[in-house]
Structure 1
């Protein structure tokens, strides 16, 4: 009984400490930097959501390419198509990794104007990568269904 009272009291105290009693009209609008950061992260999330499928498709294409190369009469146009699709998957995946390695989420030492420009550039970059991943994956999927 004492334990139940203790935990109930603790929960009530914690809940009341977190209640700021701010009216909903006092909510602050996100800053342009926050909006841009959310957009950049959305592009990142869209791209990363495809990475598992990209890696699986690249692996399947590699197997198909190896199989084609082992035949006596290699269908060179088909081989070139499959190799191109695999290369596009690898490039898109590599681009996402490069972007993640170079993106400075903290933006230390940047003033507001520089942060906005930085995020705008990264928004374009990461959205382009997400588009490349989507296109490369669609191409690979269409080839693998044949």
Structure 2
């Protein structure tokens, strides 16, 4: 018996009446980029709930200043991060998750569980697929 949900079909809707796909308007793309989840995770671990840009950059291995700036700007635009500017000399900028940004962590936990549970099977399928294509 095939238990897969057929998106947009009557069968899929009958199996799970609460599942209605909606356009993501780029949100899924944002979550799937290389740095967003890293930034959100690091901000969630901040002791004071805020981190300075330099602390974020230091804690996220491999991120460039430009990519961190773009990621934070996009997260701020989406309402997931708040930027706090302090007009000092030198200026100080801190970032913290909004309530909505922290709520995203709960959604990511489910995805993280799924990945952890299914990664060995996915890797095996990839291996079989790649061997068949050679």
TM-score by length of 2: 0.23
Q: Quick check: which one's strand share is greater?
A: 2
- Bigger Rg over Cα: 1
Task: Name the structure, 1 or 2, with higher relative contact order (CA <8 Å, separation 6+).
Answer: 1
TM-score, normalised by the number of residues in structure 1: 0.22
Higher relative helix content: 1
